[in-house]
Amino acid sequence: MVDPLVDAKREFERLGLDPRTCPIAGASDGAIPRLIARLRLLSAPQRWRDILPNWPAEWDEDNPETWTRPQSQRGAHDYVDFPRGPIVSLAVPGTWDEPRLDSFVSTAIAARHDIYGAGFMSPAFGPNATRTAEVVLRRGSSEEQLSAFIEWIDVQDNVELSGVPRRPGAPNVQRCAYHLY
């Protein structure tokens, strides 16, 4: 089975869109395959506003800072109160479960990375699919500590950096979630 998120990322890139800036945060059943089918009919270049139905009028595509709302806790693995630590988003094999993620975090801590918590942001679609996990660094972590952690991730097997949803010293707002139906 082909991972629909990998196909979507590939189509975004083909259309000249940076998947790291994708405002899509959730989708109902069947929405991603429908989006991929629609994307395959388009030619490059495209803008997010062009491919996402019902783009909110108050969002200025050229100013992603308008895509914000007060920051909320991202899961049990995140801080409850402000300030919160930086977050690194990872693509991991669909076979990973909580014990495997805990083992990854233990290895990171043993390598002297200051981790607060980690959790999955997507379900497992199967052994051939990828799964999204987040790792939260301790509050007060610096850009240098974040960079060192990212460099460490780059040499780990079966783990790929997906993005950095929250950087050190980020304001207490987060990007709004765009949901596909």
Question: Is residue 1 over pLDDT 60?
Answer: no
What is the per-residue pLDDT for 173? 61
> Residues 93, 155: one domain?
yes
What is the chain's length?
181
Q: What is the mean predicted confidence (pLDDT) over 2-22? A: 86
- Residue 30, amino acid: G
> Residues 52, 123: one domain?
no
pLDDT digits (tens, 9 = 90+) for 47-58: 988 888 777 788
Report the percentage of the chain scoring pLDDT > 70.
88
Instruction: Choose the final residue of a domain: 70, 96, 115.
Output: 70
What is the per-residue pLDDT for 5? 78
Note whether residue 178 is domain-resident.
Answer: no
Question: Is residue 65 over pLDDT 80?
Answer: no
The angle formed by the CA atoms of residues 157, 159 and 165, to the nearest 5 degrees, is 155
Q: Which residues contact 44 (CB under 8 A, 6 or more apart)?
A: 14, 15, 16
> Residues 51, 107: one domain?
no
> Residues 59, 114: one domain?
no
Across the chain, what does the average pLDDT equal? Answer: 86
Q: Which residue shows structure tokens 């930086």?
A: 86
Note whether residue 120 is domain-resident.
Answer: yes
Among the residue ranges 12-16, 120-124, 137-141, the one predicted with the least confidence is 120-124
Note whether residue 115 is domain-resident.
Answer: yes
> Residues 49, 123: one domain?
no
If phi > 0 it is left, if psi is from -120 to 50 it is alpha, else beta; for residue 180 that is: beta
> Residues 152, 91: one domain?
yes
Find which of 15-24, 102-111, 127-136 is predicted with most confidence, using mean pLDDT: 102-111
What is the domain range of residue 20? Answer: 4-70
> Residues 94, 165: one domain?
yes
> Residues 108, 167: one domain?
yes
pLDDT digits (tens, 9 = 90+) for 79-119: 888 788 999 999 999 899 999 999 999 999 999 999 999 99
Question: Is residue 67 over pLDDT 90?
Answer: no
